[in-house]
A = this chain, B = another copy of it.
Amino acid sequence: MAPASTRPTSRDVARAAGVSQAAVSLVLGDKWRGRVAEATAERVRRAALELGYRPNLAARNLRLGRTRTVLLVVPALTTEFFAGVYTGAARVAAEHGFGVVLYPSPEGVGPARNPFASAQAALDGVIASSMAADALTAIRGEALPLVMLDSDPGGSLGAATVNLDIADGVRQVAGHLLGLGHRRFLHLAADVPSWTFEVRARELSARVGAVPGGSVRTARAPISIEDARAATEAALAAPGPRPTALVCDDDKLAAGAYKALRRLGLRVPDDMSVTGLDDLALATAIDPELTTVRLDAELFGERGMRALLAVMDGRTPEGGDIPVELVVRGSTAPPRAS
């Protein structure tokens, strides 16, 4: 009489092996050394295998009071970059017996825009990108151990933060372009409310402003190739001397800028130098290949996970921003003698 098609429990395994449920738990939990005879343990293992037993995670989580699962909240723009962050975080998590669940902050997915309503999984902690703005209030409400990625260290009110050294990346870009002789800059800024984008703008202005004759104009666009194209065309239609260098907050924006420049009949890098930020695959797919700042997404994810493990453990996560690296390719050159 098959008792319906319900999954076997540890008690079923116990019955089949002729032992108590506790013995099954001990054997399968690898805590049986010196408590259960090897022969019995083997019987239990065999019975579990035959019945196709899988432990009920809900029950285990309830019993243990923890889930060994953490949530990674990323912005809707699920890209290579955050795929890398996930990979790094998942690797470290796996080393410590943890799992990582991804929550891409939705664009109109659920009514609640609440990661916890969506990923119903019971969680031990959260890593959240500061770009996933929609989800942040819900996250705070949950009162779980939290690590923020790329968030204002001052403004995040006590939550641990792990940051890329974006300021240094912008410094390197500015230094590179200034060194080539550029003075008039157009900054194609990501239209996303996030501290990291404020840093980009501030740092660029500071560097360029410190040089005689240096000037920065700003255009804004959401991180989308089409929007970037439109914004760039509009900005370059403005009166006054044309900028010679176009600094983009993101490689995708740079790809849009390329399109705008093609339509305007301007050549990269002869008429306009262009830089990006991220070093996505896209950066080498476009022609000419893009000078950009390489961000180590995987390392970012690893550091985020390590920080979360520290927080969950009551320790203080190690500080220090993650270094970034300028990658010079074919999209930057000295401005043409005017």
Contacts and interface: CB of A to CB of B under 8 A. Distances in A.
Interface size class of A (residues with CB under 8 A): 35 or more
- Copy number in the complex reads 2
A90 B68 contact: no
Contacts of A159: none
A337 interface: no
A129 to B, nearest CB: 15
A255 B285 CA distance: 6
Given A58-B67, A110-B94, A284-B225, A99 B120 contact: yes
Interface stretch (A16-24, A49-57, A178-186, A206-214): A49-57
Interface in A3-18: 7
A1 interface: no
Which of A78, A106, A117, A252 is most buried by chain B, counting CB atoms within 10 A of its CB? Answer: A78
A183 to B, nearest CB: 29
A119 B123 CA distance: 11
B90 A110 contact: yes
A104 interface: yes
A62 interface: yes
Given A117-B99, A225-B281, A258-B285, A122 B58 contact: yes
Nearest to A57: B122
Nearest to A70: B120
A120 to B, nearest CB: 4
Contacts of A287: 258-259, 262, 286-287
B67 A62 contact: no
B119 A94 contact: no
A225 to B, nearest CB: 5
A39 interface: no
A157 interface: no
A234 interface: no
Contact of A59 (B62, B79, B102): B62
A7 B68 CA distance: 17
Contact of A94 (B79, B118, B226): B118
A124 to B, nearest CB: 10
A67 B109 contact: no
Contact of A285 (B61, B112, B119, B259): B259
30 contacts: A52-B141, A56-B62, A56-B122, A57-B122, A58-B59, A58-B61, A58-B62, A58-B67, A61-B120, A69-B119, A78-B83, A83-B104, A90-B110, A90-B118, A91-B110, A94-B109, A94-B112, A94-B118, A98-B120, A101-B102, A101-B119, A102-B102, A102-B104, A121-B121, A121-B122, A225-B281, A259-B285, A259-B287, A262-B287, A285-B286
